[in-house]
A and B are shown apart, each in its own frame.
Chain A
Amino acid sequence: MKESIKPNKPLQINPIKLSQPMGALLCFLGIKNCMPLMHGAQGCASFSKVFFTRHFSDPIAVQTTAVNDITAVIDGGDYSISEAIKNITKKVKPDIVGLFTTGMTETKGDDIKGATFLLKDVQKMAYVHTPDFEGGLESGYAKSIEAIVEQLVLETTNIDTQKATLIPNVNLTPIEVEKIKEQINLFGYETLALPDISQSLDGHLGLKQGALSSGGISVDEIESLGDSEVVITIGNSVEKAGKKLKEKNTNMIHLHFDTVSGLLKADKFYKELMQVKKLKTPHKTIVRWRKRLQDALLDTHFAMGGTDVIVAVEPDQVLSITTTIKEAGANIKAVVTTNNSVSLDSVPCDNVLVGDFEDVENELPDADVLISSFHGERLTTKYKKALQVRGFPNYEIVGNNLINDTLYEGSCYMLFELANIINHHKYGQH
């Protein structure tokens, strides 16, 4: 792993970083009829619920074991967890409960595996350790996928040549997950995503607001993922989850991509799928979209060329964004991210920090554009710089669920949006 610059102060000032349990919550929201259950004090669940509700403009299902001052000391976890299951199942019948820990219950050292085992006849559950004093949003999401694979997917040696599994990283939006699935389907597959937030957090109007996740991959589908011909992981945070799935069936092919944004990375994605399916040319819409992206790169390179950009999001998304905009000539002035990751090794920038918005502020005077969550708006207003909002949270713009930056098509939209922002900033009337 490339050495990125470590934090230069004892605290975080305006953090970019989000926590592991929040990543776990997003993962469980991509499983159908799931009740995500956060094992901690009630605030962890409440803060996360409000956070994602505002980001997605949609209701978020989550419950808490509501550990209090007494259970914090005398309970090893089994009391508050079994009470929570009792109270949840009084009202709803989840297909699965996704149990994940927080810093507090990890400090206590609760035995969630034991608690899950004791309740196995009452409620199907998956459990994962996600203390918020280590890792971050990406690792919380990835660890949850790994736990789900280990605990639920059945071993097999059979292969269904028409079945593929997609494992997305936490930064991919609901529509991106759907688009990638559709593209894989163009190679003769029925693709399942684990998790599948395109079925739950895509901003669809249901019949009523349920207490459980509103869609996603079903538990039955998860259990039988083992016979997929290929598992495709996108983002370095989830590569290990793909390996875990392959362990369930060594005949499975694991295709890993650190990103599928930008022309060359998307090329690699399609090339490998063509090789698996022994195809000479892909579906004609893929061919067409590649031509559009070639044109988009040329159309946007005037605006993008030489523009100094700071990117401040999660590592896997840093790689996607910088890869795309570098192809059109943007200069990546600085990257400020949340955690160290192998994704940072291939980022086209020498100035990579693990830091916070104070670090962004230090770099901003010499840059033109900031790409970050809505928290960047305060800074870009102060320094009169342009802002493209990406990552979590984005409270100011509606339609986050449908932002697509991936593959040929999404890369076009991403480039056009940024080029327009740059042109407006440089030449528009203020």
Chain B
Amino acid sequence: MMVNKKQIKELLNESACSHNKDKKSGCDKPKPGATSGGCAFEGAQIALFPYADAVHLVHSPATCQGASWETRATGTTWDGDDNTQLGYCTDVSTNDVIFGGDKKLEESISYICEHKNPKAVFVYETCVTAMIGDDMDNVANRMQEKYNIPIVVVHSPGFVGSKNLGSRLGGEAVLHQLIGTREPKTVHPFGINLIGEYNVTGDMWQYTPILEKIGIKVISTLAGDGRIEDIQTAHTAKLNVIVCAKSLITLVRKMEEQFSIPHISVSFYGKRDTTNAIRSIVNAFGDEELSKKAEEVIKAEEDALEERLIPYRKVLAGKKAILNTGGNKSWSIASALQDIGIEVVATSIRKSTLEDIEIAKKYVPILMKVPANEQAKLIDDHGVDILLAGGRSLYTAIKKKVAFVDVNQEKKISYGAYGGLENLAIDVCAAVNNDVFKVVGEAAPWEEEA
């Protein structure tokens, strides 16, 4: 099977996406010469690579994996080889392009199964291997029989679309080949799946211990700190919890249809949203004892956090900020900033979905459509102290001599949940107290003062 056209069309026209309700066409195709984001393969990689107990074999020439392995600070508690951070690649050559890469793929899978002892192998189809028509499903089926572990083909050639679509394709592969293939010994009454939580910087570990304290069991994740054996039993969970990401909405809709598992969508950024997220999860079970326990735990966590935030609140009191980032961060980080006492004057909605814009409206008074043109003036008009944005806005911050926090850079520490909010407070305080933004903007001795 090559790339499945019907499946891609279905994913792009996802009925659960709000923009598809008023638009005839689905998600837009990337524009030549005016495109910045990653491709479908990257999306699949983001979604599935966190399974550290599986080997992720990319069937591609050098760029796809050579440029991208070991790039995300994604934590795992798996004590075998941390395959999330490793780069397996068939390194397709001219010879393979001419004569086909099936044989190389088969030998590679054999090598992995015989030397690395993984719980599963994900095999990613990329542009070149889709075009030369390698029959990856056939190879995978044979290898699965031979080695008796799941060999999951992910049909994610970059040219089919964006990162978002690729994450969906990853979700589809997991749904069709893993979920429901194993029955657990017992079924937990308050079992959940965490969908779209990739545990980047260990975000997930900020809140899973809290959920456990309440009595909720994480059955499986897609895919932060995930295990293959767990995702195989995902059909026995009572609730699917989508964490921030919108891309896996198709997966949870299908799981609802197939296994009658309802889903909710939550964010764990900031105090209020974390508390809301916990309550939403607990409320979905409608269990009085559970709800009572949850309220106790929430109170204890919030009180402890407030105690820890006191020194930072002193520094941040009365400070004003502008947030220029994309997607759900346009409101989730805004909410977190408000929770540490910062007034968020404006936020960017340039790359946000319709849902995100609706939510952002509730948190922030000014929504910037073209932040590059608007933010400098807003800094002046409102006496803004902090600009939180991507690297491109650094120049604005230096010109205006305000503190700058790069919110798009690969972070090393988590801003998630209650514990992460303290980390955010520490970082913002460090930026506010940092002289650098004033110093580097000074004119050189040989320059006229502007």
Contact = CB atoms under 8 A, between A and B. Distances in A.
Nearest to A86: B33
A47 B67 contact: yes
5 contacts: A47-B38, A87-B33, A102-B127, A103-B127, A133-B97
Interface string A71-94: 010000000110111111011000
Interface string B142-176: 00000000000000011111100000000000000
B90 to A, nearest CB: 5
B29 A104 contact: no
Interface stretch (A58-66, A181-189, A281-289, A403-411): A58-66
B69 A15 contact: yes
B245 interface: no
Interface stretch (B55-63, B299-307, B314-322): B55-63
Interface in A78-125: 80-81, 83-88, 90-91, 102-104, 106-108
B89 interface: yes
Contacts of B391: 53, 59, 209
A100 to B, nearest CB: 12
B70 interface: yes
A5 interface: no
Contact of A15 (B29, B71, B89, B159): B89
Contacts of B38: 42-43, 46-47
Contacts of B85: 378
Interface stretch (B104-112, B224-232, B341-349, B424-432): B104-112
B283 interface: no
B61 A72 contact: no
A131 B94 CA distance: 9
Contacts of A216: none
B435 interface: no
Given A42-B38, A43-B38, A68-B160, A12 B32 contact: no
Contact of A47 (B33, B57, B64, B128): B64
A10 B108 contact: yes
B91 A11 contact: yes
B363 interface: no
A339 to B, nearest CB: 10
B39 A41 contact: yes
A63 B35 contact: yes
A205 B159 contact: no
A331 interface: no
Interface of A: 9-15, 17-22, 37, 40-51, 53-54, 59, 63-69, 72, 80-81, 83-88, 90-91, 102-104, 106-108, 131-134, 136, 205-209, 375, 378, 395
Contacts of A69: 3, 5, 8, 159-161
Nearest to A72: B159
B286 interface: no
B132 A208 contact: no
B15 interface: no
Contact of B86 (A13, A42, A72, A209): A13
B385 interface: no
B211 interface: no
A46 to B, nearest CB: 4
Interface string B62-78: 11111111110000000
Contacts of B65: 12, 15
Contacts, number: 206
Contacts of B37: 42, 46
B4 to A, nearest CB: 11
A80 B92 contact: no
A295 B132 CA distance: 57
Contact of B32 (A43, A59, A80, A209): A80
B216 to A, nearest CB: 34
Contacts of B392: 59, 209
A48 B67 contact: yes
Contact of B131 (A59, A108, A395): A108
Contacts of B128: 103-104, 107, 133
B42 interface: yes
A88 B34 contact: yes
B97 A107 contact: yes
A375 B107 CA distance: 25
Nearest to B161: A68
B86 A43 contact: no
Given A10-B90, A11-B112, A132-B61, 4 more contacts: A41-B157, A51-B67, A66-B30, A87-B32
A71 to B, nearest CB: 8
B422 to A, nearest CB: 25
A51 B132 contact: no
B93 interface: yes
A14 B33 contact: no
B284 interface: no
A144 B391 CA distance: 29
A248 to B, nearest CB: 30
A39 B42 CA distance: 17
A42 B30 contact: yes
4 nearest CB pairs, A to B: A43-B39, A84-B33, A41-B158, A87-B33
Interface string B17-56: 0000000000001111111111111100000000000000
B67 to A, nearest CB: 4
B62 A41 contact: no
Nearest to B40: A43
A132 B126 CA distance: 12
A396 B35 CA distance: 28
Contacts of A44: 39, 63-64, 158
B127 A13 contact: no
B374 interface: no
B394 to A, nearest CB: 8
A208 B94 contact: no
B258 to A, nearest CB: 27
Interface string B396-411: 0010000000000010
Interface string B104-144: 10011001100000000000000110011000000000000
Contacts of A17: 62, 66, 91
B93 A134 contact: yes
Q: Which of A54, A66, A72, A88 has the most CB of B within 10 A?
A: A66
Contacts of A102: 63, 127
A9 to B, nearest CB: 6
Contacts of B394: 209
Nearest to A44: B63
Nearest to B103: A10
Contact of B127 (A21, A40, A87, A208): A40
